[in-house]
Amino acid sequence: MEHAVDLVAALVWPVALLGLVWYFRGPIRNQLLPRLTGVRAFGFEFSFAAQALADASKGKPKVTEQSRSAAIARLQREAHLLAGARILWVDDAPRNNFNERRLFERVGARVDPALSSDMALELARLHPYDIVVSDWARPESDNAGPELIAALRRERVLAPVVFYAGRVEARSRGEAFGLTNRPDMLVHLVLDALQAERRAVASM
């Protein structure tokens, strides 16, 4: 008899717990589980992003570990700015910025590559872009980047432009939002531009 009582007592809490889980299955499924899986996915994505930024830094102007960490930390804080954002990336040698594009894509942005200004303008007529990332010189012109901005404005494409070029010395950003040759600074400039656009829309 004592064994039977002990067995019943041992089963009470598991059965009660299962009952509670069954009773609250809706809220658990709709609220708790997405948060838990989101945290796991969030951590994975930013681990990947950190590696992508480290890979992007190879062969580029020296980027310290502290600078990379700061860029990744900001991505974690402000990932919502990139979620669903559409980036037009203009560069005749896209292999040179593969890791940078992969980084933004894994955080949630869509990146459309264009090899020339003509291709960029064609894409800009088809899709609304939140930001344009462009190199400076291409076979079509030594000043292809600045000339692209003028062409975009003639098409009434007002998306901010960030120059991501191999050489930035003695160059001015001019009408662009920013100019850099460092992947960590590119992260900051893109986030700054998206943030400024959000504020401008909110103030209208």
Does residue 50 or residue 124 have the better pLDDT?
A: 124
Q: Does the pLDDT at position 34 exceed 50?
A: no
Q: Does the pLDDT at position 27 exceed 70?
A: no
Angle between helices 183-202 and 98-107 (to 10 degrees): 40
With respect to residue 9, please indicate whether it lies within any of the assigned structural domains. no
Render pLDDT for 70-123 as a digit per residue (tens, 0 to 9).
999 999 999 999 999 999 999 999 999 999 999 999 889 999 999 999 999 999
With respect to residue 6, please indicate whether it lies within any of the assigned structural domains. no
Report CA torsion sign: 86, 90, 93, 96: negative
Confidence of residue 40 (pLDDT cuts 50, 70, 90): very low
Q: Which residue, among 93, 95, 177, 96, has the nearest Cα to 133 in the 3D structure? A: 177
With respect to residue 28, please indicate whether it lies within any of the assigned structural domains. no
What is the rounded average pLDDT of the residues 129-150? 95
Calculate what percentage of the chain has a pLDDT beyond 90: 56
- Split into its structural domains, the chain has a count of 1
With respect to residue 18, please indicate whether it lies within any of the assigned structural domains. no
Region of residue 178 (phi > 0: left; psi between -120 and 50: alpha; otherwise: beta): beta
Phi/psi for 21 (5° steps) reads -60, -45
Q: What is the CATH number of the domain that holds 145?
A: 3.40.50.2300
> Which residue range(s) make up the domain with 144?
33-202
Give the 3-state secondary structure of residue 89: strand
Does residue 121 or residue 10 have the better pLDDT?
A: 121
What is the rounded average pLDDT of the residues 178-191? 95
With respect to residue 27, please indicate whether it lies within any of the assigned structural domains. no
- Distance in angstroms (rounded) separating the CA atoms of residues 47 and 107: 11
- Distance in angstroms (rounded) separating the CA atoms of residues 153 and 191: 22
Calculate what percentage of the chain has a pLDDT beyond 70: 75
With respect to residue 4, please indicate whether it lies within any of the assigned structural domains. no
With respect to residue 172, please indicate whether it lies within any of the assigned structural domains. yes
With respect to residue 15, please indicate whether it lies within any of the assigned structural domains. no
Q: What is the pLDDT of residue 22?
A: 54
- Distance in angstroms (rounded) separating the CA atoms of residues 104 and 75: 9
Confidence of residue 191 (pLDDT cuts 50, 70, 90): very high
Render pLDDT for 11-26 as a digit per residue (tens, 0 to 9).
555 555 565 545 655 5
